[in-house]
Structure formats: C-alpha cells, structure tokens
Amino acid sequence: MTFSRPFLAIVLATSSVAAFAGDEPSGMSLDGVENHEAVIPPQCYTRTEERFNPCFTCHQSYEDEKRPNYMRDAKLQAEYDFSDFAMTNRWSNLFRDRSDEVAAISDEEILEYITEDNYSALAGRLESMGWDGFIPDLDDLHLAGGAFDEHGFARDGSGWVAFNYKPLPSTFWPTNGSTDDVLLRLPEHFRQASECSGEGGYSVDAYRANLAILEAAIKDLPEITSLPVDENAVCADLDGDGERTVVTRIQRPDHYVGDASEVAVASMLYPEGTQFLHTVRYVGVTEDGQITPTPRMKEVRYMKKLAFHDRDELREIYEGSEEGHDEGHDDGDHEEEHGDGDHGHELDADTLPGFADTGHGLTNDFGWLVLGFIEDKQGELRPQTKEEQLFCMGCHSTIGATIDQTFAFPRKVTGADGWGYLDLKGMKDAPNVGEVDGEILTYFKRVGGGSEFRNNPEMQARWFTDDAEVDRDKVEAADVHTLITPSPERALRLNKAYRVIVEEQSFIHGRDATVVPPENVIEKVDASEPPLPEEHQYNWDIRLDWSQVDRSSER
C-alpha cells in the first residue's frame, strides 16, 4: 500500500495566523499550499547507495491482524513511489549553506536566546486574539521536568502526564538538532471514580490504573506493572487475585475502570479524547557542558483523538485510500509540473485522501486532530500554517510503522518505571520487539551513520571505526544519553543554524538544522535508479523489548 506518497486535497479554511503574527512565512500565502507533497519529509530523499536504509523506521508491513495499521508500505524501503511533482525535492533549505550566517551569531547570543521562555505567554496571546482552537494549558512547561512530579504527573493538576521513552531514530536525537518531550492526557472520566467512591473529583487511583491499562493495550501486553493503585478506590480486582488491595501489577481488562468503565479496551488503539502534547526544543548547554532541554521551544505540537474507529472501520479506511491511490496511477509516463518528468505517477487530487483544515488544526480520516505552534521571526510561538502542519500530518497519517498514528508512547519504558519526565541518562539501548541487538546499534549498522543523511561527523567519529564499521563494544557500553547527545560545540552550532531558519520564516522549505548541505540528499529523483536490494530491507517493530535490559540502570 502506498498512500504515503500522495498529493493531498486540502479542505481550505480561513487561517487565523495573519491575526497572530505580523510576518507572513516565506514563500506562500496563508490560504495556499506551495508544496503539495509536504507530507513527504526530507528524509525520504536520502541517497541510499543500494545499501544504507534509514527508511525502515517508518515504512513497515504487518500481517498481524491485531495491528490496526493496515498501511503495509514496506515496499517504500526499496523504491520511490512518488508523484511526478515529488520527484523533485522541494525541501530547498537542505541545499543552503548557512556557514556565514552561523558564524555571525556568537555563542553568548544563542545561549541567551535559547534560555528565554517563549511558552508561558502563548496561552494569553491566543486568548487575546480570539483563538478558538486548543490552547496549551500546562503551567510551567518551559521548566521541562520541573513542571512534573516524580511520577510524571503535572504539578498544576491539569491531567497531563510525562513518560520516559527512547527517542525515535534519528531525527529526534539531540545530536541532530533538537531536544523534545511528549506528554499524554486521558479524558476527565478516565481520571475519576465517582460511581465507586460516591464522591466526584479527581482519583489518582483511577488515573494510574487507566494509564497502565492503556499502555498494556497499546503494546498488546497481557499484564503490566503500575504505580500503586488502591483497588478499593476503583471497585475492581485489577491483578486477578480475588481480593481488593493496593496493587502494582495489573492484568489487562476488557474495559477501563472508574468513570470510564463503559469504555472498552481496544488493542493498539487509544480511546476517544486522548491527547498528546509534544514540545520540540533547542539543545541546551549548561555552564559545565551538560546537554539539556531548553526553556525556549521551537514548536509545540498537539494531537487529539476526536473520533474512535474500530479495527474493521480502519481497515475500510485504508482500503479506500489504497483504491484511490491505484486509480491515480497510470501506465504511461507523465510530465512533471515543474520539470521534464521522471516517471513518477500522476498527481491527482480527486482519487487521493485529503486532510480537513479546521482553521485550528488538520484532521485525518483516522480520527486525529493535529495542530502545531512554531516560532515567528521574533521567536514568539504562533499557530502554524496549513502547509507547515502538513509536515507533521504526513508522519501521523501515512506510514506503516506507527501504532494508532503515534510514535513515542509505544516506545515508553514499560510499566511503572516509565512514568516520569524524559530521562535518557542511564537508559540502556533496549532492542526492538523481535530483535536481540540494541536499537541504536542496529540503526548504526543499517544506516551507516548517526542520521538519515549520514551527515553527522561527530557520531561517525564517536561510534564508528576508521573503516566505517560500527564499534560494537563501544556502543554497547554506552547509555542512550551518551549515544545520542552532541558535544556542546555541535549543539550551539545547530542551534544557530535553526535560528537562521526562524529569522527567515522558511519552514516550508525545511526545518533541519543543517549548516552546510548534506551530501547524501537527492535533489531530483532518478526513476531508473535500482531499488534497494532485498538484503538491505528490514522488518522492524516500533515497540521496544525493555525486558532484555537491566531496568535498575534505566532511571
């Protein structure tokens, strides 16, 4: 199935961005889309040289009927199934040399910039402009871990919960330009147990239990460890021992508990109303050279599941998209819109899936709303334009590796140990489900470098031999923090490069914090190039097998 490569029919709506920011983003009108294939990320234009394969972390085909992702797009590891339009790489920022602009920014200037708080004022600014979409409602998020207690629960009582997970290879590794975190919030009735207790209001026991049940469902586990839960508070025997006590292990039930007891537990699917908040930040550098998240945010991303679709409904949605995609193909050759044609398939909006633009986020056929805020020229956060949001929507709608269109939560440190703000120090390189070697070690071997573009010389020097072979012993001896964080010098350099993009407001041309153009990026796809050989195509599971690592060293 190949609907990860379509043109998208955008249902246009009036944008509120103009009322929010005085600077119109570069190269587009607020009501239009310049890059009709913005759902294809820059990494899809990696030069593989018939052996390097970073594509496996996104494009997978699963025959397991338990998995509700029926995209089955593993063939895209091997070939570029692009429209004619997409045969030309539209991410032109990848081909920019920013050396002079970066050199003009001092270390002191960028350090001052990234330690400023641009989050706290966002809610008030949105309210003052009459924004009717989601308004970030978590206090003190600029403090990163300081906004949460030891178990990851927001100190402000907003219901947001932080969890510890291993960042997806490799764009989200700090060594490649950004730190981040991901937060989860279940609907209010998942946080209450009024029918059991006879009292309304928040129930920590109900919330802890339902979070554990959700994790077991998403990872398809029969049971899971949890933070302590008083079974009497939720009127349920969660561990199946026939008694009601305080428990730390839960057998996955058929329904959630507390006031959500009528909601069925669906394997690998989130319940309606689930929300995620994802902050993308600069790479912080402390006075003693430690790498940390920054108060300043590059982006604040938000997802909410507006509608629940069961497995059968999802299958029909995927199959309908596949039929539309196939109808859009033609056996003949087509001229590219802006060139002389490279034998992609015809770009046809009528037969391909569309995202609806609500004016405060895009929605997809799978029930999810996706919304983003990004820096304006002055560094204040503003709502993203439609085209800027397509950059996120593609990955959260059109690839086969995700679980219910999400990445981070399926990668959470399993069970009670994984509730708490992101902490990579001491975390071991757990293998993916079904594998033995650590995920990062495996990625290095399959990709041949520390980024999709193999353009991270620091990673090459640290973890590869002079013969370009992975230094297995060295990699296996390191924790995840050591493996994927940059030196202070590299961190500052990448921060400066991204600051240049912010000043240009050129996000629709690419957000990668590159100083010089990566060598292994294709500018124009050659359809005659042979596909990636089968021996370099891989089956892969986004979930991690934490049972294979020593948990005592994870936190």
* pLDDT surpassing 80 at residue 15: no
Residue type present at position 391: F
> 356: how many CB neighbours lie within 10 A of its CB?
16
The closest alpha carbon to 141, from 370, 304, 299, 368, belongs to 299
Structure tokens at 7: 């043109």
394: enclosing H helix or E strand: helix 386-395
| Cα angle 306-308-314, degrees, rounded to a multiple of 5 | 120
Q: Mean of the pLDDT values across residues 496-516? A: 98
- Answer whether residue 21 shows pLDDT above 90: no
Q: What are phi and psi of 106, to 5 degrees?
A: -80, 160
What percent of the chain has a predicted confidence (pLDDT) above 90?
82
- Indicate if the alpha-carbon torsion angle 395, 400, 402, 404 is positive or negative: positive
Mean pLDDT, residues 436-458: 98
How many other CB atoms sit within 10 Å of the CB of residue 456? 23
Cβ-contact 184, 274 below 8 angstroms: yes
Distance, in Å, from the CA atom of 217 to the CA atom of 264, rounded to the nearest integer, reads 11
pLDDT band with cut points at 50, 70 and 90 for residue 65:
confident
Given a cut of 90, is residue 61 above it in pLDDT?
Answer: yes
Q: List pLDDT tens digits, range 321-333.
A: 766 555 554 444 4
Distance CA 252, CA 506 (A): 47
Pairwise CA distance, residues 298 & 278, whole Å? 11
CA distance linking residue 96 with residue 107, whole number of Å: 22
pLDDT in tens, 413-429: 999 999 999 999 999 99
Of the candidates 247, 255, 248, 278, which has an alpha carbon nearest to the alpha carbon of residue 182?
A: 278
Residue 94 clears pLDDT 50, i.e. is over it: yes
The 3 state secondary structure assigned to 8-74 is: CCCECCCCCHHHHCCCCCCCCCCCCCCCCCCCCCHHHHECCCCCCCCHHHCCCCCCCCCCCCCCCCH
465's tokens: 């031999």
Check residue 81 and give its pLDDT: 87
Q: What was the pLDDT predicted at 554?
A: 44
pLDDT tier at 345, thresholds 50, 70, 90? low
Cβ–Cβ under 8 Å, residues 234 and 188: no
Question: Residue 14: what pLDDT?
Answer: 34
